Amino acid sequence: MENPFKFGSVVSENFFTNRQKEVEEAKNVLSSNNHLVLISPRRFGKTSLINKVTSSFSRPVIYMDLQLVTDVPDLATQLLKKFLNINKWEKIKHFLANFKVVPTLELNPQTGSMEVSFAPSANNKFTPLEDVLNLIEKTGKKDNRPIVVLDEFQEIKYLDKNLSKQLRAVLQHHKNVNYVFLGSLESMMKAIFESKKSPFYHFGYLMNLDRIPYDDFFDYLKKRFDKVTSKSEIISKEILEFTNRHPYYTQQLAFYCFSFLEKEKYKKDMLLLIVQNITAIHNMDYERLWNAIKQTDKKILIALAMQEKPSGILSPTSTIYSGLSRLIERGYIVKNTHYEFDDPFFKNWIIMKRG
């Protein structure tokens, strides 16, 4: 029997957990002339959601992960390369002749894709990117607008301090493209799109992708566990209690539970055994993470894992808040009604190490 749970990559079709409300909301935005800003912690399913939404349109889609971009010229190069791979050469070659900085193009016979490079420009390194963005706009049509997805958009802060201002100056004139800005650091994304001082202030329709509602996730899990056990209700509750409805870790734990139940019958300590096993598998990864964390932040993580108050082990209060801010920015913890671990298995690793 095929395991009905999937984690670690973009999910679709039967693996996609109910996000119907969010899917319809995003579709409505991208069916209009507006742009979409989608914010959620890492591994909450932003990319899977947008992939499901964009695949419902018969429109060209360009996806860029800004975490993998090194600088502004590299962004222009990668964006043009992706654009060329989804467009017929004969239809767009005359547009390239109008570039202020003409790119060098070379067909890679092994992959069949086009290799792109721009000659370094000391005068204006933003010019190639401006040319590429305007090319996408020029080839777009009112009834067939391209969708450009810029994932981890908060990374523009590190590419160039003036990039947001330069980008806004170009994008605000585009009428035939829908832009989707994905971000996993809420404070930075809110600063970009909600601060009046920011060039991107109120530039798009803002959506916050929250945890999947408990009842929806419970039904999703139970339906699939019904195939291998009569204890599907108990297992589904135990999983959601441990992961607190985190989409990625819920899928991961459910995958291992399903594999276990295909071979053995349910037993009361099953979930504990599987959690300990997953934690042990990632022991080396967690050790590397732990060794890269500041001593002050380690104390905060230990306090949160052991359900203690950080104020009981650290002072002054400003030190605690600085540490919490660092840990949120690095993705170790998230803030909902209270501070909690993003990765419940990392929390379990700390508890195990503390005995």
What does each of the 355 residues of the chain score in pLDDT, given as a tens digit? 789 998 876 655 565 666 888 999 999 999 999 999 999 988 888 988 999 999 999 999 999 999 999 999 999 999 999 998 888 877 787 888 788 887 888 877 777 677 788 876 656 789 999 999 999 999 999 889 999 999 999 999 999 999 999 999 999 999 999 999 999 988 899 999 999 999 999 999 999 988 888 999 999 999 999 999 999 999 999 999 999 999 999 999 999 999 999 999 999 999 999 999 999 999 999 999 999 999 999 999 999 999 876 655 556 677 888 899 899 988 899 887 788 999 999 999 999 998 7
The answer on 110 and 230 residing in a single domain is no
The answer on 195 and 108 residing in a single domain is yes
pLDDT at 349: 97
The answer on 135 and 116 residing in a single domain is yes
Whether 310 maps to a domain, the answer reads yes
CB neighbourhood size of 292 (10 A)? 9
Whether 2 maps to a domain, the answer reads no
State the residue range of the domain holding 256.
214-281
152 conformational bin, left if phi > 0, alpha if psi -120 to 50, beta if neither: left
The answer on 131 and 246 residing in a single domain is no
The answer on 99 and 65 residing in a single domain is yes
pLDDT at 196: 94
What total number of domains does the chain contain?
3
Exposure string of 294-323, with b = 16+ CB inside 10 Å and e = fewer, is eeebebbbbbbbeeeebeeebeeeeebeeb
SS3 157: helix
The answer on 123 and 193 residing in a single domain is yes
| 8 A C-beta contact, residue 164 and residue 156 | yes
CB neighbourhood size of 112 (10 A)? 8
131: domain CATH number? 3.40.50.300
The answer on 226 and 80 residing in a single domain is no
The answer on 85 and 141 residing in a single domain is yes
Distances (CA, A) of 292 to 87, 129, 187, 315: 44, 35, 23, 22
Which of 208, 233, 249 delimits the end of a domain? 208
Q: Which residues does 4 contact at the CB level (< 8 Å), separation at least 6?
A: 14, 15, 224, 227, 258
pLDDT at 50: 94
The answer on 227 and 187 residing in a single domain is no
320: domain CATH number? 1.10.10
Q: What is the separation, in whole angstroms, between the first and last Cα of the chain?
A: 38
Which of 208, 229, 244 delimits the end of a domain? 208
Residue type, 173: H
Task: Give the phi and the psi of residue 290 in degrees, each rounded to 5.
Answer: -60, -40
pTM exceeding the 0.75 threshold for the entire prediction: yes
The answer on 148 and 44 residing in a single domain is yes
Whether 10 maps to a domain, the answer reads no
